[in-house]
Structure 1
């Protein structure tokens, strides 16, 4: 029997830096039964692929707890529980920061200005001890847990740097004669140790607040779902939690209420705001039998509907999961950054030791104290937080921004690749066009004009009994008029041609042009002239005739969607080659291409041909985006560099595609590409500043300028710079919210 591998996202708590993410990832990946672990530091989650027969989530939780982290394994409301844990941690950190800062201020004043006052060192010792080992104890506890497993993270750097400075200062406080005998002054660095702890706490507070803004898209989507519903049962109305709703339940929705689950109207009618799905601000009329979706808002009137999809099966739940998975996915560049972060902390420790050794060899009179401080400063300034946040925060904001605009991006790779696209292939039906035929025009022969109302009623009655796909378009068109009901007899389906029936002893036919020769039907000259224009526009024509002549011609076409031409023009103006591939005939394909301004198109294309065309463009060096909506597009979507599905398309196309346009509006494609470009630009900016910060900061901390101008970076300033670097990276990512509209 084949092994079943389960893939699941778990919220992670306790991570404080990119090094933590690497520790969590390596610890989980090392567990038996775990096939793959991908940790996203920015949204504090891990995507795990594991064999549930070999390892249980509880085992993974225990393994993580041993190194100071935790995962939330309860699937019910996991996101809310993580937010609750994070909020508690945030409040605790805030409390510790405030009290630590209150104690640190006098330490700084004494250390900087009153160092010669009596018992100055002893007083600073008393005040700084609780800052480090009570309010800042988490740094030391986590560092110890990491060390037990041979790992290191930011807490390791903080604990080492402040711990060394504190121990050195305690030694100097109680043994000043050791240095006096050697002609040196016993410096203490209580203020540096305390300030570093406080600054890092402040940085984490600011980072936590900024990061919470990156997940607003998820919170907004979750807020669309009500907590309780009114269920109708044998005992009448009852208000129940949404989690208790079952398929088949009858739900009552009143005016202004949010629809809790997907279903179908059973009684009543109303208008529903579906802007969160379609992007259209105009409310949609709903009648008995129509489908409603979770998260949409009832506007006027009340109705009852039957639940068809509940819990994780609703469209809203799938959208939320899609955004969560995407925000947790890793861009290719992030995988490289993770490798760097994994070796970063050990390398920094090595640099710190090397710094101390060089100072001891070449530092002269104050080699030990200055070398010690340089080592402490290197450990403080070289935090990998900014590096770890650079990519995932930008990805989170970019994907969240896309979700707000109706662009659902399944993974970070698609978002990163979008800006490179220089060739776009569009399917015709359902992508450029609406995907369902509509009556464009009805031409009546002059001889039939005196009885148009009767003839329309007969045509409606005939088409209502027809099973032909085009019948629905004619029915929809004629139902907009008030027509008298007519009674037909001898209804007959003409295979491959159309349908016929008898009304008041006259035979009427609705069929294709083939019926003309078969029944030797005449077409009046006035009608014949108008037909030429319809044929040029590649309309599908239905001929309505009596036993002698054609009474009317109905022109039907799959109409080009509003915005398709505008979107295609925008893409072409950006230098992107646009192609249309369709299984439809040459005449129809040419007509649609002319209407939309597409110069490259192919007709009569099979599904395999679409994929082959994608591959051909890729071999020419193009980065190809495929946009489709049907099962026949799935092969080409899978082959393309970037695959985009219409939200109103088939489930298979949506499953294969990496990006879904919820409203099926092609004008979202230029927006998606712009979003990709802005996100990649932000990632590059973040990585540049993160690397530059460390490239400049570490040598400065080590004392590279000291031989030239006597400059030695203070550990307190190093702590402030480290905190600022993380906040600046997150803030730069948040700019994405305003760069794209």
Structure 2
């Protein structure tokens, strides 16, 4: 199974690389002997297929106004940010010198002179420049016959603009001077769209980090002379070129090995921390690292055709996904448009019918202007922006907003075992020594012999000796042998460490204690002094300490935890018992994991699948919510709606908590925003006129502003949510 990427990979000293050229082959038995935890079968072929499990259609913004098709999120962020600040500078004098605003606050303004033209002139500039995105969007919505937010905003600012000019020129009553309202409306809506674009673009840092995986330069073989090379950028490479990747270097483009053999760190693609042997005829992927020796690679894909570009494309597409709550806001805006238009027409008819045409004009225009929902324009963008920021700080990349919203309804979390609940890397779990030998002494000798190896099993043995504070003597004459193991001279003694091939070569027998280890799927290595077996070591995939907390915390929230693994039932049961998991699917082949998800869904469960690799991709796509843990693979990212940058399973709990909190805020804000319109529009239309009350425009504007402030403050409360894994307790 797959393993999360480690920060230190690829950072080796030349000495370590030299040792690696020898030691991996000697551990052939280590990799395959009695090692049930690691299921690599699904890596064959490195499937980089696209993701069909989620609809990543372009986010249509508000009512069909496409924010994403013209230069990406970054361009729109810059545009709305620039427009907002410029329009804010225009809005201050426009509002300050507006007669209606001055009357509202009670400060005097001249009745004539140049001052009276400040608001009309600046207001016109704001309408033409600041209102253009909304007017353009309104036209798009009319053409698409899908009225929504843009049409509602466009209607309000157009009516306010025309009425204000008519009032300024004395054609209609002074009560219809809405310059200040026009200015505030444009500024607030620009702010809302800026925030929304920024929230969509925030996850772009993930794309930057993916792009950084490519090397700055590539060493290309020039001409027919295999020894002649030239340095070029990866962008200059063409299909068919042959490049040389030195030890510790990154592969610049997808290709096929034509010369050499090396262990390649493919954690970026497969999530597997253990380097994978690659030799002539094998495929390698851009961004992966040759850990121990040089390779010659014939380029088979460059640029946008590489797997790395595919990852970037998938994440970028997923970021454009629209959320259910956003679509609800768009639908609400569409309903409000017809509501406002109907109320305006009805107002005009009723007031005209009772013989008060002046009131009909004033009240109708007031209805159309104040019906524009300032708060509705901010309700969702603010919550999305803050929740995205909070998620990013907690190491959670939300690639599909709908997945985040759905997470609150999940009642079953299906964890893949290896690399998710466990570390996916070997750790020493047992030491046995023959009579007369000390276990610590056996471990120290084994660590000494393995010290010059970078193999994961060797690293685990050395780490265990170091953790115990053992004195590891310096070894010399390090050697490794294919199919047997490694050996070195330690204090004048020939110490060897290896699997069954080593025992067969020396005519030795395994220790009795190793039978139980093997039955539990442990990797067993024997330690020999000359031809004499002096002890044995058991290594197994280490359970993450935080997994216990995560399982308990999910159970506390009423979420059932289920584990799926390709391991034997005995191995799976041992891990499940350790973690407190009562339901286990063991012996599941990679291609059958999606069937496991379907089986749970058939029971009526809402399933979240947590996995980290190619093997998990079908299951991630099948699940109601897919979570790729530990950065995962390109296919895992494609199949997952949420990517957990860390390998901490407690992050799953944080996603559920964030989902519940953010959805709650979205619903509250939508009710606040829509509630203002549902109440203020009838009052402005004069529904209470029979008892002598018609809501003045100034009061409606104040209520509108109050609604916006309430929505903004309510969204800010999300910042108080603590999503750190440390706060989660069992």
Same fold by TM-score greater than 0.5: yes
Distance 1:423 1:217, change over 3 A: same
Partner of 2:475: helix, strand, or coil? coil
Q: Aligned ranges for residues 273-352 of structure 1 at < 5 Å?
A: 328-342=320-334, 344-352=336-344
2:561 corresponds to 1:578: yes
Aligned to 2:86: 92
Deviation at 1:443, TM superposition (A): 2.1
Q: Which has the higher contact order (CA 8 A, sep 6+)?
A: 2
Aligned to 1:196: 181
Aligned to 1:485: 476
Q: Any conservation in 1 of the 2:351–2:359 contact (CA below 8 Å)?
A: yes
2:233 corresponds to 1:246: yes
CA RMSD in angstroms comes to 5.3
Q: Any conservation in 1 of the 2:495–2:530 contact (CA below 8 Å)?
A: yes
Deviation at 1:631, TM superposition (A): 2.3
Match of 1:444 among 433, 439, 444: 433
Q: Any conservation in 2 of the 1:508–1:545 contact (CA below 8 Å)?
A: yes
Match of 1:714 among 693, 696, 715: 696
Deviation at 1:358, TM superposition (A): 0.8
- Number of residue equivalences: 590
Aligned to 2:349: 357
What stretches of structure 1 of length at least 5 have no aligned partner?
A: 1-5, 8-34, 49-70, 73-77, 174-186, 235-243, 250-262, 268-276, 278-292, 295-307
Distance 1:476 1:156, change over 3 A: same
2:476 corresponds to 1:511: no
Q: Distance in 1 between matches of 2:218 and 2:617?
A: 43
Aligned to 1:423: 412
Distance 1:589 1:518, change over 3 A: farther
Match of 2:359 among 357, 370, 381: 370
Q: Distance in 1 between matches of 2:558 and 2:397?
A: 24
2:123 corresponds to 1:156: no
Partner of 1:441: helix, strand, or coil? strand
Q: Distance in 2 between matches of 1:662 and 1:360?
A: 63
TM-score scaled by structure 2?
A: 0.67
Deviation at 1:197, TM superposition (A): 2.5
Deviation at 1:589, TM superposition (A): 1.2
Q: Any conservation in 2 of the 1:380–1:718 contact (CA below 8 Å)?
A: no
Distance 1:657 1:225, change over 3 A: closer
Higher mean alpha-carbon deviation, 197-206 vs 610-619, is at: 197-206
Partner of 2:525: helix, strand, or coil? strand
2:713 corresponds to 1:734: no
Deviation at 1:92, TM superposition (A): 2.3
Deviation at 1:370, TM superposition (A): 1.7
Q: Any conservation in 1 of the 2:525–2:536 contact (CA below 8 Å)?
A: yes
Deviation at 1:536, TM superposition (A): 8.5
Deviation at 1:576, TM superposition (A): 0.8
Distance 1:515 1:88, change over 3 A: closer
Aligned to 2:619: 636
Distance 1:507 1:432, change over 3 A: closer
Match of 1:703 among 674, 686, 694: 686
2:380 corresponds to 1:391: yes
2:537 corresponds to 1:543: no
Distance 1:639 1:198, change over 3 A: closer
Q: Distance in 2 between matches of 1:102 and 1:618?
A: 60
Aligned to 1:407: 396
Partner of 1:330: helix, strand, or coil? coil
Q: Distance in 1 between matches of 2:114 and 2:235?
A: 72
Q: Any conservation in 2 of the 1:100–1:135 contact (CA below 8 Å)?
A: no
Q: Any conservation in 1 of the 2:200–2:320 contact (CA below 8 Å)?
A: no
Q: Deviations over 1:615-665 (max 9, x none)?
A: 121111110011112322222111111111122544322332221211111
Distance 1:733 1:221, change over 3 A: farther
Q: Distance in 2 between matches of 1:602 and 1:347?
A: 54
Distance 1:86 1:213, change over 3 A: closer
Distance 1:43 1:92, change over 3 A: farther
Q: Any conservation in 2 of the 1:516–1:522 contact (CA below 8 Å)?
A: no
Q: Any conservation in 2 of the 1:40–1:392 contact (CA below 8 Å)?
A: no
Q: Distance in 1 between matches of 2:537 and 2:443?
A: 16
Aligned to 2:726: none
2:648 corresponds to 1:665: yes
Q: Distance in 2 between matches of 1:125 and 1:462?
A: 85
Match of 2:61 among 40, 46, 49: 40
Partner of 1:446: helix, strand, or coil? coil
Q: Any conservation in 1 of the 2:413–2:561 contact (CA below 8 Å)?
A: yes
Q: Any conservation in 2 of the 1:426–1:626 contact (CA below 8 Å)?
A: yes
Q: Deviations over 1:303-322 (max 9, x none)?
A: xxxxx999999999999987
Q: Any conservation in 1 of the 2:448–2:475 contact (CA below 8 Å)?
A: no
Partner of 2:558: helix, strand, or coil? coil
Q: Distance in 1 between matches of 2:83 and 2:329?
A: 27
Q: Distance in 2 between matches of 1:677 and 1:197?
A: 36
Q: Any conservation in 2 of the 1:393–1:733 contact (CA below 8 Å)?
A: yes
Q: Any conservation in 2 of the 1:634–1:652 contact (CA below 8 Å)?
A: yes
Q: Distance in 1 between matches of 2:304 and 2:124?
A: 45
Distance 1:609 1:685, change over 3 A: same
Deviation at 1:442, TM superposition (A): 2.5
Q: Any conservation in 1 of the 2:307–2:634 contact (CA below 8 Å)?
A: no
Q: Distance in 1 between matches of 2:716 and 2:412?
A: 30
2:557 corresponds to 1:568: no
Deviation at 1:476, TM superposition (A): 6.6
Distance 1:554 1:45, change over 3 A: farther
Partner of 1:643: helix, strand, or coil? strand
Q: Any conservation in 1 of the 2:196–2:381 contact (CA below 8 Å)?
A: no
Q: Any conservation in 1 of the 2:414–2:609 contact (CA below 8 Å)?
A: yes
Partner of 1:665: helix, strand, or coil? coil
Q: Any conservation in 1 of the 2:597–2:622 contact (CA below 8 Å)?
A: yes
2:404 corresponds to 1:433: no
Deviation at 1:409, TM superposition (A): 1.6
Q: Distance in 1 between matches of 2:315 and 2:702?
A: 34
Deviation at 1:703, TM superposition (A): 0.9
Distance 1:351 1:718, change over 3 A: same
Q: Distance in 1 between matches of 2:352 and 2:193?
A: 39
Q: Any conservation in 1 of the 2:96–2:102 contact (CA below 8 Å)?
A: no
Deviation at 1:611, TM superposition (A): 1.8
Q: Any conservation in 2 of the 1:376–1:715 contact (CA below 8 Å)?
A: no
Partner of 1:554: helix, strand, or coil? strand
Deviation at 1:548, TM superposition (A): 7.4
Q: Any conservation in 2 of the 1:560–1:592 contact (CA below 8 Å)?
A: yes
TM-score scaled by structure 1?
A: 0.66
Aligned to 2:47: none
Deviation at 1:695, TM superposition (A): 0.9
Distance 1:631 1:90, change over 3 A: closer
Higher mean alpha-carbon deviation, 197-206 vs 557-566, is at: 197-206
